[in-house]
Structure 1
């Protein structure tokens, strides 16, 4: 498995796969052809289907500026290696094509062309790590340190600092989220309400405020940490901030929890997928919930077996979750979904701590089922905004504009990719 540096990525939202990665791919292509008169970029599959809402074209144009960029959209076509394919063409002064390259955004901000990083972990399965912990008495975070070296701690400190910045900014920024849905930022209000509620509701209110804060920052294209993606970026920092304050934790405790969470995220990334275009939202929110559940269980004093159990529950109970963002924006249902995943992560930790950690379905098995389930999902429900909530929301808008359409609006949705 790769270093945690390829999992936790600090950057601007709203999407790691549709914003961060295309920006970097475009920038690299421009550097290869600095004399090009303009750049033509063709986006395929999911990148084209939701790219406008995810600001993919804006990210590409910013990356190659001041060179003009023409972005073309092909939502009904896919390149062979991944639904998030893109083709770059450098155009010379006489209109001739002087260079061509293709790349793929494979999830979490990573490009396929960058996936040849050397492995720093000798194993790929969580069971192998768990067996090692049983034999040596080590914790998960100690295994991460052995594989990554001491340099992992300054990196994780930067990750934690960035998470806290986005959370603080989100808690104290009000206004309408751009994109046209008319959503007003809720994090400041939720945070104020949490301070006057009794203990029964306070935990849920705080977790909601924290997750909304980060997710709303992401929706506004502000800096966040993909953990493991931008669309699920609010879950882990919310749980960590909540437990830090409740348990009066030291920074070292948080960094070790980030290491453990990253290990579980890495296993999903290596053996399953964290790409919404491949497996739906279960790969994004489900993985984020598993990571947060593992971190929470460790911070609450759980054993490695209990940590693994909590993460397995966090992943398993998101099986089949679709990715159908309304209008291609990372807002509905994404922001609210972060909050629910954070509360579920904490409940998974509590449930695991009530047990001895023994259970029948291993985390590795859950990862295999995640990939199997995701591949069975129609393209409608894998980040294309062609089905589910995105379709029904658009249908209601069309009916409001033309009431005559309301009488015959029950046709089956058509997939943008055959």
Structure 2
């Protein structure tokens, strides 16, 4: 079994047995909204199917059906899972698909009665009958499952995929996925090659990471950096972090300059542009002005995400506003912010996100929003504490505080849309991350509850949480708020 990212996240390869921890290349990736598990992952699945069907046949299928199971079936419309799979089948990937394609593909499919399958051609497709939502059917391997079936050459060619969170996907090679799953992880050749190179400082728990830091006399970001450059040239790592920073900045800029009503039918108005104008027009700065800016940056990103536009998965799309808001706060509000510290921010955040991903989950469909906003808040808190010069113990404490105070957070999106309460929740999560970092930096790093304990508690809480609070829109605010 390859110790590639998806296999590690899925638990097929234990984190302690992997060649290396998850990388900054795994934790931060550019994609489109509104959801990494419901949009980005299914888009990748559709793209993967084009390769599989092209290897199976050169004939044009008579028909293709797409069935969305479990959580994907429950909130697939609101999360635009249906559209995402069609975009992937057309040959596009989340990091490069043009916005025009995202905005227009469903209308084109409805009007033409066909879908485009890259490498095959146009295939008859009726949205009402060929796009099947099956929320009550749960495949045994994972709650986020989808099956793409082509009727071709007198038979049927089906593939089942699982979107396990953060844009990672698994493929089921079984003839009977419903009862006998045979799942393999999927990754690019570049990712496989990088993860095949052993890390000089492997760690699978926060305690192990802290022990390495003490032994090496190093900071958390130093350890992550040495692991990164053992797999790739240092210029590639720096360039990638720079590209992620740029993408986050572009997303904020787009969010504060784009007005209007968010799509989906809830009539939620974008607030970032008016808040931005109000902040610019202020003639005096009060003690809470910094918080207002943090709120603005988080809202801007998640309003872009809710529109299906390009964001950075950090570690998910539903929580994509937290890390950018806290990082931007550091850049704007800390007078002596340096380029070195800005890189360290993302390296430390990577370590924390990797620990959560491999020892619990970041998927709302598995553990609720504690795995999304909670994880992002912990990552941002650790990144900020690291950038501000915190010791390894203080950085670990910052992550622990942020995650501890998100335990039990449910995922109950109204209308299945990543809007209410998701957008505001990112603003709250960002402010909470800053406060967690400050609390940790006031102390000496000694605390009663370890980050490892909080991760395990989050995992157990998610396992105990009723499914109606885990991205199915069957409980909580999703049923108690009247859609209008």
Q: Distance in 1 between matches of 2:420 and 2:258?
A: 19
Structural mapping, 1:237-256, within 5 Å: 237-248=324-335, 249-256=337-344
What is the CA-CA distance between 1:33 and the residue it aligns to? 1.3
Q: Distance in 2 between matches of 1:41 and 1:266?
A: 32
Provide TM-score, normalisation by structure 1. 0.91
Pick aligned residue for 2:226 from 140, 146, 168: 146
Structural mapping, 1:244-323, within 5 Å: 244-248=331-335, 249-323=337-411
Pick aligned residue for 1:45 from 50, 64, 70: 70
Root-mean-square deviation (CA), in Å? 1.6
What is the CA-CA distance between 1:41 and the residue it aligns to? 1.5
1:295 alignment partner, SS class:
helix
Q: What is the aligned residue count?
A: 394
Which residue number in structure 1 is paired with residue 182 of structure 2? none
Q: Distance in 1 between matches of 2:295 and 2:186?
A: 34
After TM superposition, the structure 1 stretch with the greater mean CA deviation from structure 2, 246-255 or 75-84, is: 246-255
What is the CA-CA distance between 1:144 and the residue it aligns to? 1.0
Structure 2 residue 313 is matched with structure 1 residue 226? yes
Pick aligned residue for 2:253 from 162, 168, 179: 168
Which residue number in structure 2 is paired with residue 210 of structure 1? 297
Pick aligned residue for 2:50 from 12, 16, 30: 30
Change (3 A) 1:9 1:77: same
Which residue number in structure 2 is paired with residue 71 of structure 1? 131
1:348 alignment partner, SS class:
helix
1:43 alignment partner, SS class:
strand
Which ranges of structure 2 fall in alignment gaps of 5 or more residues? Answer: 1-20, 91-115, 117-121, 172-184
What is the CA-CA distance between 1:30 and the residue it aligns to? 1.8
Which residue number in structure 2 is paired with residue 403 of structure 1? none
Does the CA-based 8 Å contact 1:190-1:208 persist in structure 2? Answer: no
Which ranges of structure 1 fall in alignment gaps of 5 or more residues? Answer: 401-418
What is the CA-CA distance between 1:36 and the residue it aligns to? 4.1
Pick aligned residue for 1:12 from 28, 32, 35: 32
After TM superposition, the structure 1 stretch with the greater mean CA deviation from structure 2, 321-330 or 134-143, is: 134-143
Which residue number in structure 2 is paired with residue 108 of structure 1? 166
Does the CA-based 8 Å contact 1:160-1:255 persist in structure 2? Answer: no
What is the CA-CA distance between 1:6 and the residue it aligns to? 1.9
Which residue number in structure 1 is paired with residue 142 of structure 2? 82
Which residue number in structure 1 is paired with residue 80 of structure 2? 55
Does the CA-based 8 Å contact 1:214-1:224 persist in structure 2? Answer: yes
- Deviations for 1:126-171, whole angstroms, at most 9, x for unmatched residues? 1111111112121111111111112322211111111111011111
Q: Distance in 2 between matches of 1:166 and 1:5?
A: 19
